Chains A and B, each alone.
Chain A
Amino acid sequence: MNASTSESRPAATAAPTAVGTDPFLERIANDEKIEPQDDMPESYRKHLVRQISQHAHSEIVGMLPEGGWITRAPSLKRKEVLLAKVQDEGGHGLYLYAAAETLGVNRADLIDALHSGRAKYSSIFNYATDTWADIGMIGWLVDGAAIMNQVPLCRCSYGPYARAMIRICKEESFHQRQGFDIVHNLMRGTPEQKQMAQDSFDRWWWPTLMMFGPHDSDSVHTQASEWGIKRLSNDELRQRFVDVTVPQASFLGLTIPDPALRWNAERGHYDFGALDWDEFWRVVKGDGPCNEARLSARVKAFNDGAWVREAAVTHARKRSARAANQSDVRGATSSQSRAAA
């Protein structure tokens, strides 16, 4: 569900090359799309593999905090909706792994990097989903933030990534709305339900703002913007998210857990308080509330599914052997009948 890459400290890259001297950067500046067989700098390819695969990992790890609620969702309708949402996220993972594979890597290796802890995914999924309201907050806030990140990626320079993002963005809007709907319902419910929603909002607000990654001033320079991969900065995206979400929260009757939050008429934006970057890096580095649980659930699901993958291969072999036999028989019969004629 979300572009997680802004979270990891970008690897240092070579100094930017001036557009005009570099034909590749010139192509990008002219808004030309890059397709898999085209020449591309190795650093561009590597950056994309890392960003797209981290994004794919986030989609499938993102299935876990919600997946646990499918059987506990409060009605058949909510169960159906959540099941469809989680299934979408699995599909998003698939689109993105496929986009990464166009760059000459194997999905099996990428998954192995995730399972062995070498690859990162969005830290937001290392937070717990203890109440039903958390499922509402994930859809409304987390998917909402993801959409903010992902819409600009639909125009990114690498064709397969941009196409995957277009498909994903079409599906994300439903995710955000079903989450909003959950929260909206709770806020029209009993005092206990309203309290549950407010508690959950208090826990998710800050981690959601951190999803956009470190401040621009703290981000190591990468060529992602010259390469047409990152169109808007972390702080620009975060500000946009705050600006659209604050009015939604006040419509719902939720209090934003930030005493510094106020409208700044001069800037035309909401001002908001400082983020706790110590917490951010703690969670990124593996010390969040659920890092271990998420990874071990992923590995267990993969290992438990091994027999299914093997059975599918065995079945496919059997089916193709049977088809080969049948065509032998058909071939034999037709030559017999030809001989008889």
Chain B
Amino acid sequence: MSDAAPPASSGDWPLFEVFVRSKQGLDHKHVGSLHASDPAHAIALARDVYTRRQEGVSIWVVPAHAITASAVEQKADNFDPMASKIYRHPTFYDIPEEIGHM
């Protein structure tokens, strides 16, 4: 399916993931998903569903099938090596008290 290509009429509309910027200066954050016939429709529905109480100033919609996720089986390979690299954190280093804040 191309981006948000409409499905056969028997099925449901394609799935979109919805991201909302809650206010200027902040990131868009994933808030949920919805079905819509195309991206413009998804924006209209997302406005009604996810911003009924001024939760946002901007919306992104992304066809769910367009998202590539890291593999769950690779979770350990991907992320565990960082556990031993605590020297990447400032707290790894002892700074003499006399120095104060650094």
Contact = CB atoms under 8 A, between A and B. Distances in A.
B40 A164 contact: no
Secondary structure type dominating chain B contacts: loop
B15 interface: yes
B13 A309 contact: yes
A167 B53 CA distance: 12
B21 interface: no
A163 B52 CA distance: 17
Contact of A312 (B2, B33, B34, B41): B41
Given A37-B72, A98-B34, A101-B15, A91 B52 contact: yes
Given A98-B33, A320-B5, A87 B52 contact: yes
Contacts of B11: 106, 108
A317 B7 CA distance: 10
- Chain A interface: which size bin? 20 to 34
Interface residues of B, number: 26
A317 B6 CA distance: 7
B41 A316 contact: yes
A94 B6 contact: no
Nearest to B17: A98
B11 to A, nearest CB: 6
Contacts of B38: 315-316, 319-320
B27 interface: no
Contacts of A91: 48-49, 52
B32 A316 contact: no
Secondary structure type dominating chain A contacts: helix
B28 interface: no
A107 B52 contact: no
Nearest to B3: A320
Nearest to B18: A98
A333 B34 CA distance: 38
Nearest to B50: A91
Interface string B15-52: 10000000000000001111111101100000011001
A275 interface: no
A108 B6 CA distance: 15
A95 B12 contact: no
A72 B35 CA distance: 32
A317 B35 CA distance: 16
B6 A316 contact: yes
The CB with the most chain B CB atoms within 10 A, among A38, A39, A320, is that of A320
Nearest to A39: B72
A23 B72 CA distance: 16
A167 B69 CA distance: 24
Contacts of B34: 94, 98
B44 to A, nearest CB: 10
Nearest to B38: A316
B14 to A, nearest CB: 9
A310 B38 CA distance: 13
A98 B4 CA distance: 17
Interface of B: 2, 4-7, 9, 11-13, 15, 31-38, 40-41, 48-49, 52-53, 69, 72
5 contacts: A94-B34, A98-B33, A164-B32, A313-B9, A320-B5
Interface of A: 37-39, 84, 87-88, 91, 94-95, 98, 101, 106-108, 163-164, 167, 171, 309-310, 312-313, 315-317, 319-320
Given A313-B7, A320-B38, 13 more contacts: A37-B69, A38-B72, A84-B52, A98-B32, A98-B34, A108-B11, A167-B32, A310-B9, A312-B36, A313-B6, A313-B9, A315-B38, A320-B4
